[in-house]
Amino acid sequence: MRPLTEAETRVVFEKLGRYIGENIQLLVDRPDGTYCFRLHRDRVYYLSEKLLKVAASVPRESLVALGTCFGKFTKTQKFRLSVTALDFLAPYAKYKVWVKPGSEQSFLYGNHVLKSGLGRITENTAQYQGVVVYSMADVPLGFGVAAKSTQECRKVDPMAIVVFHQADVGEYVRREDTLT
């Protein structure tokens, strides 16, 4: 377990910034306590200082996970955001996509969102912008990347993909052994 280096912090913040923009400040600088990022076995964890002090007393080989896992670094030092970060992305998301009740199930099984399943989308979403996917009842389902900008979404045919799937809440059941 160690703090992130300058380069690693930059990579993580860039990735997070694609979804929540400048609201990362609210994650870093919280009024209700000191929270920090720590790296353990290539996974980035977000935890409070109190928890960090307790976790520091666990030996490295026995430590499985701590706090909330935001994602992991791949072999080539690219950062992959995982669904366990959704709780922190959802309240601060800048660009949101609402999915109709009929295709919620499809998204939760890991499929992309088609134009036919698109309920609402935030205005001014750029193409390939990171978005957080909600159900029509404003329950966060996961996040992804907008395949088309808002303007293009209006013109495109119903079978076209509008949001690429990246992570969804169904992974808690599908991939429960790989999530930490």
Partner 1 sequence: VEEVLAAAEGLEAERQRSITVEKELELEFDLGNLLALDRNPPPAAGLRGAGPQREALLRALARDNTQLLVARLWELPAERAGGAGGPLVARLPEPAFRLPREKPPPKPRPPTRWEQFARLKGIRRRKRTSLVWDEQAKEWRRRWGYRRAGGDPARAWLAEVPEGADPEEDQFARLRREKRERVARNELNRLRNLARAHRAGSAVPAAPLHPTGHQSREELSRVARVARVSTASLGRFQPRLPKESAEPPSRSGGKKRRFEPLLGNLVAERSRQLELLRNMSSKKPVLDITRAVNKQLRQEEAEAAAAKGKKQSQRGKRGRRQ
Q: Is 74 in the site for partner 1 (CB under 8 A)?
A: no
| 116: contact with partner 1 by CB under 8 A | no
Q: Should residue 63 be labelled a site residue for partner 1 when binding is judged by CB under 8 A?
A: no
Q: What is the DSSP string of the chain?
A: -EEPPHHHHHHHHHHHHHHHGGGHHHHHS-TTS-EEEEEETTEEEEEEHHHHHHHTTS-TTT----SEEEEEE-TTS-EEE-GGGHHHHGGG-SSEEEE-HHHHHHHHTTPPEEGGGEEEE-TTPPTT-EEEEEETTS-EEEEEEESS-HHHHHHS-TTSEEEEEEEETTHHHHTTTT--
From candidates 64, 138, 155, 176, binder to partner 1 by CB under 8 A: 155
Query: Binding of partner 1 at residue 58 (CB under 8 A)?
Result: no
Does the protein bind partner 1 through residue 28 (CB under 8 A)? yes
> Shortest Cβ distance from residue 138 to partner 1 (Å)?
25
Q: Does 9 bind partner 1 (CB under 8 A)?
A: yes
| Residue of 20, 47, 51, 52 interacting with partner 1 (CB under 8 A) | 52
Return the number of the residue (42 or 175) whose C-beta is nearest partner 1: 42
User: Does 24 contact partner 1 by CB under 8 A?
Assistant: yes
Residue 26 near partner 1 by CB under 8 A: no
CB nearer to partner 1: pick between 9 and 135: 9
Distances (CA, A) of 72 to 24, 68, 80, 83, 175: 18, 12, 5, 11, 15
Residues in contact with partner 1 by the rule CB under 8 A:
1-3, 5-6, 9-10, 13-14, 17, 22, 24-25, 28-29, 34, 36, 38, 49, 52-53, 56, 124, 126-127, 149-152, 155
